[in-house]
């Protein structure tokens, strides 16, 4: 499976493949480096991995072709395959870019209000789901046209949260 890991604004090409047919070991190629990862246990959205001889716990959420991975004690990494990267945002009225909830979750922070100037990559909204926090960032420099959520609100996947023009 091909995809991309995102960590903040950094985007890295990734290839994930099974080391043996039907086995639990995976080979992950990140850029020019390869890593061997063994899946030790899967319990719902929680996964225990063996990486370089150490046990690592991670939580995985699936959203279509996207995988959000949070390694305990680390950041949330976003893995996308196929055309998911290109379908992440919807266009609102007047050609605005609309940031949408990528999963069912709770809005824990709204960092902007209508009329605020934002720069590409600014965290506009923080969602929490399955013990993971996801920061939804401005897709480009612009002005916040509308905010359609509030802190504490539980939102469904696909709900428009913020429009940036």
Query: In this structure, what CATH number is given to the domain that contains residue 141?
Result: 2.40.50.100
Paired tokens of 136: 């939804």
Calculate the average pLDDT of the chain: 76
Instruction: Give mean pLDDT, residues 72-92.
Output: 53
The token pair that represents 44 in the structure block: 């719902």
**pLDDT 10s digits, 86-142:** 334 444 444 457 888 877 889 999 999 999 999 988 889 988 887 778 888 888 889
> Higher confidence at residue 102 or residue 48?
48
Same structural domain for residues 63 and 94?
no
Helix (H, G, I), strand (E, B), or coil: what is residue 148?
A: coil
Q: Are residues 34 and 53 in the same domain?
A: yes
Residues 10 and 73 in one domain: yes
- Give pLDDT, residue 88: 43
| Contact (CB, 8 A) for 136 and 124 | yes
Q: Which two tokens stand for residue 58?
A: 């991670």
**Residues 16 and 78 both lie in one domain:** yes
* Last residue within a domain, chosen from 38, 54, 84: 84
Report the predicted TM-score, pTM, of the whole model to 2 decimal places: 0.49
Q: 96 is in which domain, residue-wise? A: 89-164
Domain count, the chain: 2
Same domain (yes/no): 65, 126: no
């Amino acid at each position: 499976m091909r995809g991309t890991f995102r960590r903040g604004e950094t985007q890295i090409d990734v290839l994930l493949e099974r080391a043996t047919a039907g086995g639990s070991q995976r080979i992950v190629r990140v850029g020019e480096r390869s890593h061997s990862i063994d899946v030790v246990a899967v319990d719902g959205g929680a996964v225990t991995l063996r990486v370089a001889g150490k046990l690592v716990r991670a939580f995985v959420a699936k959203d279509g072709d996207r995988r959000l991975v949070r390694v305990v004690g680390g950041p949330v990494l976003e893995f996308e395959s196929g055309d998911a990267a290109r379908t992440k945002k919807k266009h609102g009225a007047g050609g605005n870019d609309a940031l949408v909830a990528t999963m069912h979750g709770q809005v824990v922070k709204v960092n902007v209000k209508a009329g605020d100037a934002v720069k590409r990559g600014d965290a506009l909204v923080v969602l929490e789901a399955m013990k993971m926090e996801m920061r939804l960032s401005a897709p480009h420099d612009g002005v916040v046209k509308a905010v359609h959520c509030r802190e504490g609100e539980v939102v469904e996947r696909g709900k428009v949260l913020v429009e940036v023009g």
